[in-house]
Amino acid sequence: MLPPKRARIRSGYLRVAKESYLMTEILEIGAGILYAENRSWRWQTMTRPIRLGLVFEAVDLKAGDCPFVVEASLLPPPEELDQEILDEAAEGGNSRGEVIRQLYITYGGIPVNIDALQPAKASCGFSSFLAEGSIDSAGAPGGEIRHFRDVQEALGFIRDFYAVYSTGLFNFIDEILDNPLRQGGCGRDLILGMVRE
């Protein structure tokens, strides 16, 4: 006898979340900066799939009781890079984390509204139990933004929620990469200029 449909859906959802959590690797690349990657995070170009990772940075706005927010950016991992760009990034250090950090400093990545995964005020699920920070929607283009009391709370939320549920971003990767960047071009242009052919 099969369990009721609701139980099967919930069980399937929890299984997918657990698999995503187990497959997501998180690397600390600087003070308040984490890099996450998952083998399923890919963008399919006309010629090949390109793996992508996410850089999460806890940024101190220096205002209020909960001054920290999390900024997220897409960035290809070192294995995907053009050799010239990889050599340039490796000048800052040879470890994988140092190379990724140098790439992030140099190129910045493609900004992503990470709070769009689950709007903060709509958090009736798992994410609502993870942080005790505040939620601010004033002046936030594109929705609400979570604020955290300190960098440790922000990093904990990145590890426990953002990194795990970021797989959902890749359902919209073409739309994300088509958005214009401040420095000109779009995310697609930035990635194609960084990766090997």
The total of structural domains in the chain comes to 1
| Type of residue at 154 | A
Instruction: Give me the domain span that covers residue 123.
Output: 5-194
- Most distant CA pair in the chain, distance: 61
State how far the Cα of 160 lies from the Cα of 134, in Å rounded to an integer. 17
pTM for the predicted model, two decimal places: 0.81
Summarize pLDDT for 137-189 with one digit per residue, the tens.
444 555 678 899 999 999 999 999 899 889 888 989 999 999 999 989 999 99
Provide the strand spans (E) within 31-75: 33-44, 49-60, 68-75
Summarize pLDDT for 20-56 with one digit per residue, the tens.
545 899 999 999 999 999 999 999 999 999 999 999 9
